[in-house]
């Protein structure tokens, strides 16, 4: 073991603790250190504890720390995998533990693995940084008197046991798969976002969500307890996910609180409950589906429908009585009875509500029982065009069979695609050998790629002009062809590009890709036929590459938030100008490369409309050929270690350029604290005026 003063270049863990009466080592500065580096070198703390004030304890893998606790005050603990800044107590003996004991105790980790378990006691504790917790134990809030604030940039990969204590969010929080909050307690979201993991979990402990700005579901939630909401909150269904209330799950909306549900399925309404605490409690819904399994009567509070939604009532009744109301604003709320007879399942009926005090229509909003064109196995073999005058229902009981080349002209109507178990029921759209099925001017709702059966490789499915395709989560293993002006709307769901899956945008056509997660992107699986084809990324779009992806024709426009992930390269080789619109962003995630390599020598084919257009390198690489690229007008944001590559660039004319020498076109550059932007090759020319 050696004691020295040195500047250490490691991952840091910081802990902050209250001054203690035990003996301490005066380090003088954080770069002063005690290092346990030799084989079996041992630091044995014999006193009640050892105080480390503004110094560093470094333990290499072969070193040992034993005995009593180390107490850090603005100190650093460094092991072989992480550097942690602490104001806390640390036990590094047989059961490694870090205790946050309140009074502004802080645990801060730079990227790395944390072997110690975390126990929180008292008030005013904080965890921050980018830790990955390696210990099998959850983070534990000791009891109802303890509070913890968490503000980490990495995904939280351990459960937090609340034990009736309080958790506060200092920033957005992403939960890894299989991670949840247990032990009951209160979560102060402070308007921040929580992104749930991708594994369906059973939640059994009572939670109070306070000011839950945005809860984003990436899997189904099975709720066997009460979730209370206090202060305005939003739940986004993400991938069309479900909150299952079956067997007593409850969403409880407190007074003066509004809960927004967007694209969420609520299952089990009847055996589970939505409770409105008083008349000031409100539920606002858009793009939601409620599946009932029992009668429900509401007596206070209000449901406000501001986006088309559906109640699958079956043979159950939902009634608005006493001080409760249903308001439908500028959209349709449909109720379905499926195989059961219509009983006016949403009540009261108009005759019993002459003053419209319970069911209220605004701006043309309406409660409807959809009228469907229902066919018993449609066989289209005579007329080349089928024009719809009502909704169309395609299901295992009313399949669509095209045994001739045919166009279904929707006349702006909706075709609903329903299935329970595709593995048993089989495809519900059948296209015979050598035939083409074409949709026009129609909304295809809950359409799954696996709904379609092809007679042979010459059978085709085409979406031809003014088609909105609202997908159901599935894997695409054939080609979707889009002609004219069409929309591929994920409704927050996931489309996986299988080995034979392709999306093709025809000449002169535009495909808007909206609110979708697309996985398996590689090669030319999403492609434009010619340079006269356009892809518009609208809303929130996540593209996950599982190999290099190339866009060699056409152009793209980002009108929302485009997120690129996967340790591969997006090659942009088209000679057309693509654009990043105002108040939009293109985020490139860790390990991902965007390579600008147009087929013509033009460095201005990526246009940023104004400073609100953001290119975000988050541990990513922006690469170019000797053509270079010129970024102007927008904002370049850099986080983590990000990189620039200008392969072959040897002169200013071949460089990556920031700005164009005109003040109005200056590129705004933001580098997040502790982040870096490294030029790995070629030239970087800074040409901003201001």
pLDDT in tens, 80-93: 545 555 454 555 55
Q: Are 590 and 640 in contact (CB under 8 A)?
A: yes
Phi-psi region of 480 (alpha: psi -120 to 50; beta: other; left: phi over 0): beta
DSSP 247: T
Question: How would residue 379 be classed by pLDDT, with cut points 50, 70 and 90?
Answer: very low
How far is residue 86 from each of residues 118, 361, 568, measured CA to CA in Å?
Answer: 12, 58, 36
For 405, counting Cβ atoms within 10 Å of its Cβ (0-12 exposed, 13-18 middle, 19+ buried), the class is: middle
Q: What is the pLDDT of residues 442-453, one digit of tens each?
A: 999 999 999 999
Q: What is the pLDDT of residues 463-485, one digit of tens each?
A: 999 999 999 888 999 999 999 99
Residue 18 pLDDT > 60, yes or no? no
Residue 144 pLDDT > 80, yes or no? yes
Higher-confidence residue of 592 and 424: namely: 592
Average pLDDT over residues 37-48: 67
Residue 555 pLDDT > 70, yes or no? yes
User: Which of 563, 554, 524, 667 minimizes the C-alpha distance to 607?
Assistant: 667
Give pairs for 666-669: CB < 8 Å, separation 24+: 666/632, 666/633, 666/690, 667/608, 667/631, 667/632, 667/633, 667/634, 667/635, 667/636, 668/611, 668/634, 668/635, 668/636, 669/635, 669/636, 669/638
Residue 11 pLDDT > 50, yes or no? no
At residue 425, what are phi and psi to the nearest 5 degrees?
-80, -25
Phi-psi region of 185 (alpha: psi -120 to 50; beta: other; left: phi over 0): left
DSSP per position, 9-28: -S-BEEE-----SS-EEE-S
DSSP 449: G
Give the CA angle between residues 459, 463, 469 to the nearest 5°. 120
Report the share of the chain in percent with pLDDT over 70: 85
Question: How would residue 23 be classed by pLDDT, with cut points 50, 70 and 90?
Answer: very low
Q: What is the pLDDT of residues 646-668, one digit of tens each?
A: 999 999 999 999 999 999 999 99
What is the predicted pLDDT for the residue at 48?
60
Contacts of 149 (CB under 8 A, 6+ apart): 124, 125, 126, 127, 167, 168, 169, 170
Residue 501 pLDDT > 80, yes or no? yes
Quickly count: other Cβ atoms within 10 Å of residue 94's Cβ: 6
Q: Which residue in the block uniquely carries the two structure tokens 């043309």?
A: 364
Q: What is the pLDDT of residues 94-130, one digit of tens each?
A: 446 788 888 888 887 777 677 778 999 999 999 998 8
Q: Computed over its alpha carbons, how large is the radius of gyration of the chain?
A: 29
The pair of structure tokens assigned to 54 is: 């503004």
How far is residue 85 from each of residues 11, 58, 158, 449, 640, measured CA to CA in Å?
Answer: 9, 12, 20, 50, 18
What is the predicted pLDDT for the residue at 187?
97
Residue 51 pLDDT > 90, yes or no? no
Contacts of 221 (CB under 8 A, 6+ apart): 196, 200, 201, 203, 241, 242, 243, 244
Higher-confidence residue of 472 and 577: namely: 577
Contacts of 176 (CB under 8 A, 6+ apart): 155, 156, 157, 197
Contacts of 468 (CB under 8 A, 6+ apart): 442, 443, 444, 486, 487, 489
What is the predicted pLDDT for the residue at 503?
98
Average pLDDT over residues 281-305: 95
Say how many residues make up the chain: 690
Residue 299 pLDDT > 70, yes or no? yes
Quickly count: other Cβ atoms within 10 Å of residue 542's Cβ: 18
What is the predicted pLDDT for the residue at 76?
67
Q: Please, what's the b/e burial string for 97-125 (b: 16 or more CB within 10 A of its CB; e: otherwise)?
A: bbbbbbeebbbbbbbbebebbbbbbbeeb
Taking the C-alpha atoms of residue 419 and residue 76, their distance in angstroms, rounded to an integer, is: 57
What is the predicted pLDDT for the residue at 374?
42
Q: Are 14 and 86 in contact (CB under 8 A)?
A: yes
Peptide linkage before 348 cis (omega within 30 of 0): yes
What is the predicted pLDDT for the residue at 382?
37
DSSP 666: P
Q: Are 304 and 285 in contact (CB under 8 A)?
A: yes
- Beta-strand pair 526-528/614-618: unpaired
Taking the C-alpha atoms of residue 531 and residue 576, their distance in angstroms, rounded to an integer, is: 7
Which of these ranges, 301-310, 360-369, 613-622, has the smallest mean pLDDT?
A: 360-369
User: Which of 205, 265, 213 minimizes the C-alpha distance to 239?
Assistant: 265
Taking the C-alpha atoms of residue 192 and residue 344, their distance in angstroms, rounded to an integer, is: 41
What is the predicted pLDDT for the residue at 116?
79
Taking the C-alpha atoms of residue 222 and residue 441, their distance in angstroms, rounded to an integer, is: 38
Residue 531 pLDDT > 50, yes or no? yes
Average pLDDT over residues 133-141: 88
For 383, counting Cβ atoms within 10 Å of its Cβ (0-12 exposed, 13-18 middle, 19+ buried), the class is: exposed
Taking the C-alpha atoms of residue 12 and residue 107, their distance in angstroms, rounded to an integer, is: 10
What is the predicted pLDDT for the residue at 340?
80
Question: How would residue 247 be classed by pLDDT, with cut points 50, 70 and 90?
Answer: confident
CA dihedral 308, 314, 320, 324 (to 10 degrees): -50
């Amino acid at each position: 073991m050696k004691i020295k003063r040195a500047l250490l270049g490691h991952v840091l863990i910081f802990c902050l603790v209250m001054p203690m009466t035990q003996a301490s080592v005066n380090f003088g500065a954080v770069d002063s250190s005690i290092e346990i580096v030799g084989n079996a070198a041992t630091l044995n703390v014999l006193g009640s504890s050892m105080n480390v004030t503004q110094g560093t304890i470094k333990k290499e893998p072969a070193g040992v720390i034993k005995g009593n606790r180390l107490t850090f005050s603005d100190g650093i603990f460094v092991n072989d995998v992480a550097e942690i800044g602490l104001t806390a107590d640390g036990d590094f003996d047989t059961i490694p533990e870090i205790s946050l004991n309140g009074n502004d105790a802080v645990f801060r980790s730079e990227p790395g693995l944390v072997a110690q378990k975390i126990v929180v006691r008292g008030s005013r504790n904080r965890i921050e940084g980018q830790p990955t917790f390696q210990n099998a134990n959850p983070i534990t809030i000791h009891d109802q008197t303890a509070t913890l604030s968490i503000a980490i940039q990495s995904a939280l990969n351990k459960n937090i046991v609340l034990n009736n204590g309080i958790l506060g969010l200092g920033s957005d929080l992403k939960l890894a798969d299989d991670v949840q909050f247990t032990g009951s307690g209160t979560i102060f979201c402070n308007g921040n976002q929580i992104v749930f993991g991708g594994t369906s979990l059973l939640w059994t402990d009572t939670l109070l969500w306070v000011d839950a700005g945005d809860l984003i579901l990436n899997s189904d939630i099975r709720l066997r307890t009460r979730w209370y909401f206090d202060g305005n909150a939003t739940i986004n269904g993400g991938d069309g996910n479900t909150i299952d209330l079956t067997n007593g799950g409850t969403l409880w909306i407190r007074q003066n609180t509004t809960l927004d549900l967007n694209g969420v399925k609520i299952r089990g309404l009847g055996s589970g409950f939505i409770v409105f605490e008083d008349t000031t409690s409100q539920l606002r819904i858009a793009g939601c589906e409620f599946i009932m399994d029992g009668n429900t009567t509401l007596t206070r509070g209000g449901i406000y429908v501001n986006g088309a939604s559906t109640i699958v009532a079956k043979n159950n009744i939902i009634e608005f009585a006493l001080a409760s109301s249903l308001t439908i604003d500028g959209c349709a709320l449909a109720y379905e009875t499926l195989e059961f007879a219509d009983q006016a399942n949403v009540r009261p009926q108009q005759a019993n509500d002459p003053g419209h005090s319970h069911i209220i229509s605004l701006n043309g909003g309406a409660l409807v029982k959809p009228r469907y064109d229902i066919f018993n196995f449609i066989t289209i073999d005579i007329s080349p065009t089928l024009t719809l005058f009502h909704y169309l229902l395609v299901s295992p009981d009313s399949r669509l069979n095209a045994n001739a080349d045919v166009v279904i002209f929707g006349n702006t109507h909706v075709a609903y695609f329903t299935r329970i178990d595709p593995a048993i029921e089989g495809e519900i759209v059948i296209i015979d050998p050598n035939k083409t099925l074409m949709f026009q001017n129609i909304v295809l709702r809950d359409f799954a790629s696996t709904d379609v059966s092809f007679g042979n490789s010459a059978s085709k499915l085409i979406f031809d002009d003014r088609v909105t395709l609202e997908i159901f989560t599935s894997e695409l293993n054939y080609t979707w062809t889009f002609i004219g002006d069409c929309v591929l709307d994920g409704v927050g769901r996931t489309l996986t590009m299988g080995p034979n899956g392709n999306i093709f945008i025809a000449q002169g056509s535009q495909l808007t890709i909206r609110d979708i997660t697309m996985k398996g992107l590689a090669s030319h699986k999403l492609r434009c036929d010619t340079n006269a084809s356009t892809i518009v990324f609208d809303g929130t779009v996540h593209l996950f590459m599982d190999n290099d992806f190339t866009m060699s024709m056409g152009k793209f426009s980002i009108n929302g938030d485009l997120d690129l992930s996967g340790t591969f390269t997006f090659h942009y080789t088209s000679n057309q100008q693509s654009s990043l619109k105002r108040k939009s962003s293109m985020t490139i995630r860790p390990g991902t490369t965007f390579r600008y390599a147009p087929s013509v020598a033009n460095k201005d084919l990526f246009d940023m409309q104004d400073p609100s257009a953001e290119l975000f390198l988050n541990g990513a690489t922006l690469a170019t050929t000797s053509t270079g690229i010129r970024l102007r007008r927008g904002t370049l944001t850099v986080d983590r270690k990000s990189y620039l590559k200008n392969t072959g660039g040897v002169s200013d004319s071949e460089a990556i350029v920031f700005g164009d020498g005109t003040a109005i076109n200056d590129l705004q550059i933001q580098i997040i604290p502790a982040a870096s932007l490294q030029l790995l090759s070629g030239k970087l020319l800074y040409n901003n005026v201001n």
